[in-house]
Structure 1
Amino acid sequence: MRGTSIKQPWTTAILTGAKTIENRPQRWSWRTRVLLHAGQQTDRPALRLPLVARTIGDCQLVTGAGVGIARITDCHQDHDGAPLCSPWAHPGAWHLELADVHSLPLTVPARGQLGPWKPTTDLPGQVFEQLPGFRP
């Protein structure tokens, strides 16, 4: 399993199921399950965006922890001049398509890094212990 760190409030928007696109500066070739890690930083200006505010409501914005898992199903860029694939998509970015999102009942403190990273050997066990019905 790999991990990806995402700043808040974007991580929480993914966990709600509303944000199915994660914007990245470069293409990702993975099509696999990933640990969603809420990074240490919060994108404060994003908290004032109506789409974000409606989506996250009064959810707690945890940072520095594994908060869920998701499956990357595709990575694409929208064609110049074409409508964006999602209200969450940024023009010119690569869009990771996320599906099968599962929130963890308890967050798992962890260090991550922006972009893809490999979790410590014990981290996946701590995650799957909280999702007994889940089968990778």
Structure 2
Amino acid sequence: MTTTLDGGDWIRGITIRQPWATCILAGKRTENRPVHWPWRGWILLHSGKQLDRAALRDPLVATAIRDRELHRGAVIGVARLTDCHLDQGPEPCTSPWAQRDVHHLILADVHELPLPVPVRGALSAWKPSQDLVDRVLQQLPGLRP
């Protein structure tokens, strides 16, 4: 399946270190970022090549990734970015994944790819090529932008 839209017009990519990227596939819906993200809409979930080894000792993370492979350097899913807000209180975000004093990217409609698609990512939001978008959508025939 292909889309008539250019790859970068309706979707962006976001690179997330492991194990955090896999945690999103397992139910984590708050991604912590140091800066505000103005983009809203569909995003490719790209697992970075770096591994956050300290995170592997976190019980919440360990439970989420149990029996899952930590693919690196590949698009492993898609999600819809619905909001981004700064958590400064006095009412903190209630997600167990949320960190204080950072921006929270709120994710919905997460879809895991059956087969990871190897590709280079970037530190900020990036525009995927049409070829990459087509390869991802081929694995998710029910997804309509």
TM-score class normalised by the smaller sequence: over 0.9
Aligned-CA RMSD value: 1.0
Aligned to 2:36, the other structure's residue is in SS state coil
Unpaired runs of at least 5, structure 1: none
| Aligned residue in 1 for 2:120 | 111
2:47 corresponds to 1:38: yes
CA offset digits 1:89-114 (Å, max 9, x no partner): 11111000000000000010100012
Alignment length, in residue pairs?
A: 135
- Equivalent in the alignment of 1:124: 133
Alpha-carbon separation, structure 1, partners of 2:108 and 2:35: 20
Q: How many Å apart are 1:56 and its aligned residue?
A: 0.9
After TM superposition, the score normalised by the length of structure 1 is: 0.95
Q: Please name the residue that 1:89 is paired with.
A: 98
Instruction: Show the counterpart of 1:9.
Output: 19
- Structure 2 residue runs of 5 or longer lacking an equivalent are 1-10
Partner of 1:52: 61
Superposition TM-score, scaled by structure 2 size = 0.89
Query: How far did 1:30 drift?
Result: 1.2
Q: Offset at 1:48? A: 0.5
Task: Name the % identity.
Answer: 56
**Structure-1 residue corresponding to 2:76:** 67
Report runs of 4+ in structure 1 exceeding 3 Å deviation: none
2: distance between equivalents of 1:62 and 1:89? 23
